[in-house]
A and B are shown apart, each in its own frame.
Chain A
Amino acid sequence: MADSTTEKAKIAPAQTVSMMSVIAPAVGWLVPGAGHMIQKRWVRGALIFISVVTLFLLGLAMQGRIYKANGGDILDILGFIGNVGAGGLYIVTLAMDWGAGAIQFATADYGTKFMIVAGLLNFIAIADAYHIAIGKKQ
């Protein structure tokens, strides 16, 4: 009886870490910075949220192109992967039919790159949230 209690006590922290290592990246993908916030890294999470969301919204305001799932040109596929990194922002953008389908003027190209970079930065933030969850980083 005592042995099973001791074993449960040993297993419990490991389960918490493994649950967080799944939840933190998932939440961080859906809402940029939230993966840090649920691990009580409030300032880091807020800064990541502000950075990714501002970059993505600026890209939208600059009439940047939103890539949709496609099996065509390799650059379009890579653009889609970058956009998907923004998670919830990308889902809302698609649902509301925001963003341009094609680049119409020079500065819109900057907007397209801003949105892709926002997604890629969020991928890095997701990896960081995972590293915090598994204890590799403080």
Chain B
Amino acid sequence: MRITSRSERSSKGQFYVTITLNHFSAAAVFALFASIVFGITHRDTTRDMVRYGLYCFVMFLGGALVAGWAMWLLRR
């Protein structure tokens, strides 16, 4: 996982930060926050919310890993 950031000033004098995530970091961040919202909104009890959130997180990240390896195999 690799996250880099740098701050600069634009030509208008505005201060801004640029963050660069690699593909896996971006997938992990996306999976984390999407899973939290999915868990809260798709289930009724706290226990079910946590379980469904974890399930979504594993599926998001697992899906990305499986798709990555599938593409690696197809390329060979």
Contact = CB atoms under 8 A, between A and B. Distances in A.
Interface of A: 44, 47-48, 50-52, 54-55, 58, 61-63, 98, 107, 110, 113-114, 117-118, 121, 124-125, 127-128, 137-138
Contacts of A124: 37-38, 41
Chain A binding surface SS class: helix
Contact of B40 (A61, A110, A114, A128): A128
Nearest to B46: A43
Q: Which 10 A-B pairs have the closest CB atoms?
A: A51-B33, A128-B41, A61-B19, A121-B37, A110-B26, A51-B36, A55-B33, A124-B41, A44-B40, A107-B20
B19 A58 contact: yes
B66 interface: no
Contacts, number: 58
A28 B44 CA distance: 19
Interface of B: 5, 16-21, 23, 26, 29-30, 33-34, 36-38, 40-41, 44
Contacts of A52: 33, 37
A60 B19 CA distance: 9
Given A48-B37, A54-B33, A128-B41, 10 more contacts: A47-B37, A47-B40, A48-B36, A52-B37, A55-B29, A61-B19, A62-B18, A62-B21, A107-B20, A107-B21
